[in-house]
Structure 1
Amino acid sequence: MAKRKREITEAKIERFIKEGRGQGTGNDYIPWLRVQDVPSEGRATRGVGWTTGRRHELLSDIERDYCYLLDYSDGVSDIREQFPLLPLEETKLIAERIGVKHPADPKTGIAIVMTSDFLVTYKEKQYARTVKPFSELENERTIAKFEIERVYWTERHVDWGIITDHDLPDILIRNIEWVHKEYHNNNVSELGVFVIQNLQKILSERLSSGENIARGCSICDEQLGLEIGTSLALFRHFIARKIWSVNMNERIIPSHPAKDFMINVTEEKQAKGG
C-alpha cells in the first residue's frame, strides 16, 4: 500500500480550501485536518458527537476528553475541531509583526495553515480553545506559536484560551465516556414504548431503593425477557440523554448503587427519546 503523503504544499492547501475544509457549521462542518492527514501515534480517534451528530476528528486523548465535556454541556450548540486560521497571509503577517517564526512544513518549507483545536459555540458566543498537555507549556517554540494564535483571535474579538490536562475533571470525563456511545440506542425504537416504559419503571424503582446497577439491570432483563445487557445499555442511554441523572462527579461502577439517582422527566417523554 502506498504511503500517504503528508507534506504541505501550496497545491495541497488550495485543495483543502476547495474541499470546503474549515467551512460549515454543525453536521456540515469539515475539519481542516483529519486523522489520516497527520502522523498517528495511536491516539487519534473519531467519535460521533451528540451536539453535532457528525464524526469528530480528534488527534489526541486530551482532545477527545475535552470533546466529551463539550458534548455533555447543555450550553454548547456547536463544536468545530481543527479550525483553520485563514487566510494564511494573516497569520504570516502576525508572526512577522511579533517577531516569531511562522510554522512551516519541515520538508517543503511551505508555511502551514495553523489551526485552533476547537472553536466552540457556547450560549451563542464563540470561544477558541487550544488543548495541550501541561508539560508542553514549558516549550518556548510552542508558546511562540500560541502567541500567533492568540493575536489572531484577539483581532476577531473571540475569547481564546488554553486547556491543559490539569483543567480536565477525569472522573466526570470517564463517566461521560462510559455512557457516550449509548446516546443513540436503537433499542428505544425497536422495543417500543410499552417495553421501554416498563423497563424504566422496574429499573428506576430498584435503583431508587439502593440496589446496585448491575443487579437491577440483570433482574430487569430477566423480568422483561430481554437479551442480557439490554437494561444496562439503556441505563447508560438514559444518563447520556439526561432523562435520568446520577452523581457524575463520582465514578459510576455497575457493581455499586447509582449515587444520587434521580428521574428528570416524565415516563411518557422518556419513552419517546431515541
Structure 2
Amino acid sequence: MMAKRKREITQAKIEKFIKEGRGQGSGKDYLPWLRIQDVPSEGRATRGVGWTTGRRHELLSDIERDYCYLLDYSDDVSDIREQFPLLPLEETEMIAEKLGVEHPADPKTGVLIVMTTDFLITYKDKNYARTLKPKSELENERTIAKFEIERMYWETHNVDWGIVTDFDLPDTLVRNIEWVHKEFHNDDVTDLGVFVVQNLQRVLSERLYSGESIARACLACDEQIGVEIGTSLALFRHFIARKIWSVNMNERIVPTLAPKEFVVNEIVERLAKGG
C-alpha cells in the first residue's frame, strides 16, 4: 500500500514552495502554488494541456476546469495562472487582523496557510483575479470571511477581483469546448501533410454544407480519402478548436446531427493561439 501523502502545511513546506518558484513565471513557465497532489480535490481534478499557455493546468474542481475551458476559448485571454498565491503571507495576515477574522491555518500544525486565488487572468493586457465557488457555498460565513481577505488583498494591488459561480458558466458552450479541447493539438495534421489535410477539409466541408450529419460526413470522408476511421472526426474537432471552421457553440454539438451554422472561415489561421 502506498504511503499517504503528507498534506499538512509547515513553515519548511512554504519555504520549499517559494524556493521552487511556485506562483512565479508566466505562460508556459508559470508554476501554480498548489498542485493536484497537494490538496484533497473536490470532484475530478483534471490536467489538460491549455491552449493559451501550452502547459498542463492544475485544476482542483469541476467548476475550475469548466471556467478554464472558457478562458482557453477566448481570443482576448493571453495568460491563465491558476492557484495563484497571495504573497507575502504577512500581507494577508495583516488584512485578517484588520478585519478581525481568523487567517486560514493548517488544522494539524496551526501554521498559517498561504492563501490562493483560483485564477489570475490576463485579459486584453490587464490582470483580473477570479475565485470560483459553487453558489451553494456562498452562504457560509467562514467562506465569506476568506473572500473578504482575498478581496482586500487584490484591492491593494489594484487588480479587479470577483467571484464566479457555477450559475455564471454557460453550460452548453463549456461542454462544446470540452468536446473539441483535446484535439487542439492534433498530430494528424503534421503526419498526414498539408495536401491530405486540405483535401480532407474540402471533401468534409462540402458534405457538411450539404446538410449531412457530422458522424456520417466524417465516416464517408475517411473512406473517400483513405485515412483511418476517426481521422475526419478528430480533424473536425481540431478545426473547430482552432476556429478554422465555426459552428454555433451555444447549441450542443451532436455528432448524429448536422452542425448548426457551419462556416468555413476564409482565413485559415494555421498558427492560431498556441502556435
When normalised by structure 2's length, the TM-score is 0.97
Mapping for residues 65-104 of structure 1, pairs under 5 Å: 65-104=66-105
Mapping for residues 102-117 of structure 1, pairs under 5 Å: 102-117=103-118
CA distance in 2 between counterparts of 1:232 and 1:270 reads 18
* Residue 187 of structure 1: how far off its partner (Å): 0.4
Q: Which residue pairs with 2:156 in the alignment?
A: 155
Q: Which residue pairs with 1:241 in the alignment?
A: 242
Mapping for residues 1-274 of structure 1, pairs under 5 Å: 1-266=2-267
The number of aligned residues is 273
* Residue 40 of structure 1: how far off its partner (Å): 3.6
Q: Aligned pair in 2 of structure 1 residues 265, 74: CA closer, same or farther (>3 Å)?
A: same
- After superposition, the C-alpha distances for 1:133-166 in whole angstroms (9 at most, x for unaligned) are 0001010100000000000000111000000000
Partner letter of residue 80 of structure 2? I
Asked whether the equivalents of residues 188 and 271 of structure 1 are also in contact (C-alpha less than 8 Å), the reply is no
- Give 3-state SS (helix, strand or coil) of 1:91's partner: helix
Asked whether the equivalents of residues 196 and 271 of structure 1 are also in contact (C-alpha less than 8 Å), the reply is no
Partner letter of residue 217 of structure 1? C
Asked whether the equivalents of residues 9 and 110 of structure 1 are also in contact (C-alpha less than 8 Å), the reply is yes
Q: RMSD of aligned C-alpha atoms?
A: 1.5
* Residue 2 of structure 1: how far off its partner (Å): 1.7
CA distance in 2 between counterparts of 1:172 and 1:245 reads 13
* Residue 77 of structure 1: how far off its partner (Å): 0.1
What residue ranges of structure 2 are gaps of 5+ in the alignment?
A: none
Decide which moves more: 40-49 or 127-136: 40-49
CA distance in 2 between counterparts of 1:44 and 1:230 reads 29
- Give 3-state SS (helix, strand or coil) of 2:58's partner: strand
CA distance in 2 between counterparts of 1:270 and 1:44 reads 31
Partner letter of residue 144 of structure 1? A
CA distance in 2 between counterparts of 1:226 and 1:179 reads 20
Asked whether the equivalents of residues 26 and 79 of structure 2 are also in contact (C-alpha less than 8 Å), the reply is yes
| Runs of 4+ that moved beyond 6 A | 271-274
Asked whether the equivalents of residues 42 and 62 of structure 2 are also in contact (C-alpha less than 8 Å), the reply is no
- After superposition, the C-alpha distances for 1:238-259 in whole angstroms (9 at most, x for unaligned) are 0000000000000000000010
CA distance in 2 between counterparts of 1:166 and 1:209 reads 37
When normalised by structure 1's length, the TM-score is 0.97
Report % sequence identity: 78
Q: Aligned pair in 2 of structure 1 residues 245, 272: CA closer, same or farther (>3 Å)?
A: closer
Asked whether the equivalents of residues 197 and 271 of structure 1 are also in contact (C-alpha less than 8 Å), the reply is no
Partner letter of residue 122 of structure 1? Y
* Residue 271 of structure 1: how far off its partner (Å): 10
CA distance in 2 between counterparts of 1:48 and 1:54 reads 5
